[in-house]
Amino acid sequence: MDGLHGLLDAVDRRIGHRRLLDLALKEEIPGGASWAYVFGSSALILFFIQLATGLLLATYYSPSATDAWASVAYLERAIPFGAFVRGMHHHAASAMVIIVGLHLLQVVLFGAYKAPREANWLSGLGLLGLVLAFALTGYLLPWDQTGYWATKVATSIAGTLPVVGDLVQRIAQGGNDYGHLTLTRFYALHVILLPLLTLVLIGAHLALFRRHGVTPSPAKSPEALSKIEQLWPTQLAYDAMFATVVVAAISMLSLTLGAPLEAPADPASNFIARPEWYFLFLFQLLKYFEGPLQIMGTVILPGLATTFLLLLPFLDSGPSRRLRDRKPWIAAMGLGLVGMAGLTALAVRSDNRDPMIAAQRVIAATEAARAKELAALGVPVEGPTHMLSADPLTRGARVFRQECATCHPLGDEVPEEIKGPELTGYGSRAWIRQVLRDPDSPRLFGKTKVSGMDAYAHLSSTDLEALVELVYSRRVPDAPPVEDTKAAALVEEHECGNCHDFEEAFGLDGPSLFGYLSESWVRSVVDQADAQHLYDQANDMPIFSTRLSERDRAAVVVFVLAQEALTPKDRWPSVDDPGPVPSPRIEPAKTSTPSGL
């Protein structure tokens, strides 16, 4: 032990660590340790987590409009614990907003902004502003749809500032529109300027805090305040326990949810942007001010709230910190918090009730998953946006939504007026089975001129499945002749050959089933559905060979054929369902799908 003490003494003579520990741990706390004081230290720990995880992310991140999304996707897919690190960075950012907000609320309730602590209050507000600036600049860096469009909305709001708005927007964008310079400027702000400013302001905030000491609760009696404790060990234990809970919570979220990564940013899309949850109240506020009044929601009301916070120590300049002596100021703060919470709840409620938002969420999730699949095979030098738009399945889905979804139901999306058969599971055995059972169902051909086919719901399951297999097999070029199949007798008995040609593309009363549901057959329907061997004069479908490009028509065919594999197995009734199958009632969407047909 004497040797250890001697070593510690030698170290202390050289670096003075004991004096540093005394400075750090011997902080007097009037009234004793309290859970109310844990927020500041937790915010500091979260900031250092952000620094550490941000450094790790920066080693793989490429701040380029063609490479940013791909580098993030690669980090999550290929780097051990990459998704966890990014999740920690994402969720710690939200946690910082919450913790800093709680710290601000505790300061207000305790009256810790009063003289002589005005400068400490102002530096704390500055740190809150920097936390929000971190969130705003970091949102764009993945260069995905959500970050791109939400940040574009934010900079357009900045553009409404009087006099300097246009200049601020152009500086943020790096030009007339978003691109490489926008991303590099936000990256420089996020990883260089904002961390430096934050470190400086944290140092100033802590120095001012140590100068003026802990502000005890105004509810404590003089007798309770006479009890003086040091930061070590009780208060430090409280801080450590609370911080452990916070870090454990964000670790669990990171492991289970990770961080969101939408499809690559596409400036040509019509993505409906929504900000992160802590900016939703401002987004909702803007809905109430349009046209010339927009400045009320973008500048005046937020400016008044910010001015109130900055002037609070000077407005409430009385010596008393008791809550009953500060009712107007506490009420103003409470009203502001209730307003923010209410606006946030309204924004969430509005989005949850909006069918267009719900539909976009499904599309966004589908495109994000597809983009990650494609990225695993390699991102072209043109970038991930080009990669996704060139993908036939994704392009086909986009063309389908624009040109076909106004007539054909698909999945949970139903047009206001159904004019064509539902394509959910199109080409699958289940879809064919339902056509045979109830062809004039409103969800199939009942709303079209292509109707009148006999229903075969009365057949036994064995006979019905024989017909299903016959129709399903027609897509194969070397499919056996009808007379060599199990359904031969059924075809003859029900005179199917009087309406449908099975051996070649020849027109009868119904469409030819030669090559039925093959790629070439579906392509012929997309190109010209009124051809004699297809639906002839009963067809109401547009002639897409003159309406869409070759590339778009081919992509639609890929998308439509993919529905067989993409549809859940329980979408259509199974072969074991007894008797006729009633047609499910289809509720039309509350808002129309994009026009096109």
Average pLDDT in the 319-331 region?
A: 91
Per residue in 157-198, pLDDT (tens digit) is 877 777 777 888 888 888 777 888 999 999 999 999 999 999
pLDDT over 80 (residue 14): no
Average pLDDT, rounded, for the chain: 88
Give the mean pLDDT of 61-88: 95
Overall average pLDDT of the 67-80 stretch: 96
* Predicted confidence (pLDDT) at residue 591 exceeds the cutoff of 60: no
Structure tokens at 412: 């949970």
| 573 or 591, which is more confident | 573
Q: What is the mean pLDDT of residues 365-379?
A: 94
d(CA 229, CA 215): 13
Closest residue by Cα to residue 555 from 423, 410, 399: 399
**Rounded to whole angstroms, what are the CA distances from 278 to 4, 49, 125, 281?**
51, 20, 16, 7
3-state secondary structure at position 259: coil
CB 481 within 8 A of CB 492: no
Q: With cut-offs at 50, 70 and 90, classify the pLDDT of residue 589.
A: very low
Predicted confidence at residue 575, as pLDDT, reads 58
Closest CA to 533 of 509, 511, 504, 558: 511
Domains assigned to the chain: 24-274 (1.20.810.10), 397-566 (no CATH)
Place 544 in a pLDDT band, splitting at 50, 70 and 90.
Answer: very high
Structure tokens at 502: 């099975």
pLDDT of 19 strictly over 80: no
Q: What percent of the chain stands above pLDDT 90? A: 60
Residues 238, 35: contact at Cβ < 8 Å?
A: yes
**Would the pLDDT of 479 be above 70?**
yes
The model carries a pTM of 0.84
Looking at residue 22, its pLDDT comes to: 61
**97 three-class SS:** helix
Q: What six digits make up the tokens of 477?
A: 């070029």
Give the residue-averaged pLDDT of 561-583. 64
Helix (H/G/I), strand (E/B), else coil: 29: strand
Under DSSP, the state recorded for 459 is: S
Q: Please give the angle made by the CA atoms of 459, 460 and 461, to the nearest 5 degrees.
A: 115
Residue 23 has pLDDT above 80, yes or no: no
| pLDDT category of residue 383 using cuts at 50, 70 and 90 | very high
Q: Can you give the pLDDT at residue 224? A: 76
Whole-number pLDDT of residue 583 = 40
Which stretch of 303-307, 452-456, 514-518, 569-573 has the lowest confidence by average pLDDT? Answer: 569-573
What's the rounded mean pLDDT across residues 301-312? Answer: 94
The residues pairing with 229 across neighbouring beta strands, listed in sequence order, are 29
